[in-house]
Chains A and B, each alone.
Chain A
Amino acid sequence: MTSGASRTKPRTGVGGLRQSASDGLIITWRNLKRIPRIPELAIFAVLQSIMFVLLFAFVFGGAIPLPGGGNYREYLMPGIFAQTIVFAAATTAIGMSEDVHKGLIDRFRSLPMARSAILIGRALSDVVYNGGILIVLMLSGLLVGWTVRTGIPPFLEGVGLLLLFAFAMSWIGIWLGLSVPSVEVAQQAVFIVLFPITFVSNVFVPPQTLPSWLQPIAEWNPTSTLTASLRGLWGNPNPYASTGFPSQHPVLVTLLWVVVIVAVFAPLGIRRYRSMSH
């Protein structure tokens, strides 16, 4: 134990890493339990994505020609998957904020458990939750004409990339959820951040149609690189601005984004969580 310093850090846990893992899994279990008990949450998450599919496939889709041709709905679906994953940060932020304001975090902090477990459990359970939502969305995608033209291994690579990205986004959600003063603010704040991220991208329209000053932003936007990765991996139409580095190496750039987001927001979230005792 370190002592003597004016601000000694609390110990992370009695049993170190092993305790972090086992406590983290208990919190994961607890977070997952709530899904079947508030089925509305998952149902509306799926419905929201399906709404976007229907709106863009049948309302705007006709007005959005793809450069070089191709089926718009097949183009759209990978973007919808990516958008759903980006929006998952909202679920995380709201869940975290609820735990803070209902006093559960205080209860957990008064227990001799690993302090990291709350955050690890939250990130893990949200990855599982989003995996479930993706399955439903992919099935509905198949119905409107989306398909994987390559094979099983690239398909799984795409899914893995989506889940990795979900993990990264949940750290943004954790930080936001711990930072806002109430659950309502969490809901508002998240959407202000997330809407531009998903719309200034290649999700709904080919980036070539954007004003030129906006194109580089859309090109480097992690939602775009994730979407472009999926389209590339699965053989879906991918009329992307051709010469830029992100469009040449979308998977690499997406992985870099995952690393950067986790490297920035995990320490921020952990610091927030620790500073709750000041």
Chain B
Amino acid sequence: MSVAQPLVDPSVAPACPEEIVIATAIAAHGLVKVYRSRKSEVRALDGIDLEVEAGTVLGLLGPNGAGKTTTVRILATLLRPDAGTATVAGFDVVHQPQEVRSIIGLSGQYAAVDENLTGRENLWMFGRLYQMSSSAARQRAVELLDQFGLVEAADRVVKTYSGGMRRRLDLAGSLISHPLLLFLDEPTTGLDPQGRLGMWEVIRGLVREGATLLLTTQYLEEADELADTIAVVDHGKIIARGTADELKSQVGGERIEVIVHDQVDLGRARQLLAPTGIGDPHVDEHTRRISIATDRGAQGLVQVVRDLDEASIRINDIGLRRPTLDDVFLSLTGHESESGE
């Protein structure tokens, strides 16, 4: 099985070929892709550099049209770059596409499975097209159906599947050949909250097994939840990269948030908070929430708790909040991310 050991130095890697892991799974430099139509030119990618180490998860985060899918399509050999180079596990995506295809799995935005075949038939077909023997493909289909909770639906035509089931089948299809590297292009777009949580669980399982993953998403919480490092893409460029924590601290500023029990206490609480924070407190009457930026961290929080207690103001919740990735996106791009759909 593909128990890839993360970050193994190739020089000390075990001799068994299954376990040799190339430390750099993806290396892309200066990728440019221009879509030309009669009247206009769209620079979908404007010099993308990427590096993904084996055994890690990179989240490509950006709004619709930022260039995430174009990047994935180039790395998965579906599209040629107009400039720049990219290698996947050391194979060049333009000159060695067939080698690249044999070690990657791709799961796209729409579940690319055949609606008129059953789940089992889909997986068998993909296995055969990965050049497995018929019986090996059948065996692998059984394993994957089990792993993805599709045993009961295995012999039903995919047309009858729910959106979440289709995505799981699509993902299973991309895992047939134990790929060294997995591309997930917006794996949860269009799923209901339950389907999304189910998908996250599945993806976390893959990560635990040591999969190397490149994930694109418009959902900031999704990148936060699943990725080790995040690259923020906008207008075909990477505008920031780092861990979720690093990105959040780039935006700076923690906030103290208080939810008071009684609406009538809002005014007094607001006055008490003001000296501890920076600037004006933000008050949301409807949720009885007050928040204020602070540079005093936990000390500030302790101070606020004391002050509120002395004034006998009852509170429902209080805490120190770090900025969300939504805040990061807003401060980096100057516009809101279009994660809402």
Contacts and interface: CB of A to CB of B under 8 A. Distances in A.
Interface in B122-136: 125-126, 128-131
Task: Tell me if B's interface is mostly helix, strand, loop or mixed.
Answer: loop
Interface of A is mostly: loop
B98 A26 contact: no
A51 to B, nearest CB: 26
Interface in A242-278: 276-278
A68 interface: no
Contacts of A107: 106, 108, 112-113, 126, 173
A8 B93 CA distance: 11
Among B76, B109, B129, B130, which residue has the most Cβ atoms of chain A within 10 A?
B129
A106 interface: yes
B302 interface: no
B112 A1 contact: no
Contact of A110 (B78, B114, B157): B78
B230 interface: no
B108 A106 contact: yes
A103 B110 CA distance: 7
Nearest to B103: A112
B126 A111 contact: yes
B80 interface: yes
B104 interface: yes
A277 B80 contact: yes
A112 B131 contact: yes
A249 B108 CA distance: 53
Interface residues of A, number: 33
Interface string B272-299: 0000000000000000000000000000
B43 to A, nearest CB: 16
B98 A112 contact: yes
A15 B98 CA distance: 11
Interface residues of B, number: 34
A8 B79 CA distance: 13
A276 B80 CA distance: 10
Interface in B166-221: 173
Interface string A1-45: 101000110110111000100010010011001100110000000
Contacts of A108: 129
B112 A112 contact: no
Nearest to B107: A107
Given A38-B116, A103-B110, A106-B112, A11 B125 contact: no
B95 A3 contact: yes
B241 interface: no
Nearest to A109: B78
B270 interface: no
A193 interface: no
Contacts of B249: none
Contact of B116 (A10, A34, A277): A34
Nearest to A12: B98
Given A23-B129, A278-B80, A104 B112 contact: yes
Given A8-B94, A11-B98, A112 B130 contact: yes
Nearest to A19: B131
B97 interface: yes
Contacts of B77: 10, 109-110, 277
Nearest to A8: B95
B114 A30 contact: yes
Contacts of A109: 77-78
Nearest to B73: A106
Contact of A37 (B78, B106, B109, B116): B116
Given A26-B129, A34-B116, A112 B102 contact: yes
8 contacts: A26-B129, A34-B117, A37-B116, A102-B112, A104-B113, A107-B113, A113-B130, A113-B131
Given A10-B77, A107-B108, 11 more contacts: A8-B95, A15-B131, A33-B116, A33-B117, A103-B111, A106-B106, A107-B113, A112-B98, A112-B101, A113-B130, A277-B80
Closest 7 CB pairs of A and B: A103-B112, A107-B112, A34-B116, A112-B102, A113-B129, A112-B101, A110-B106
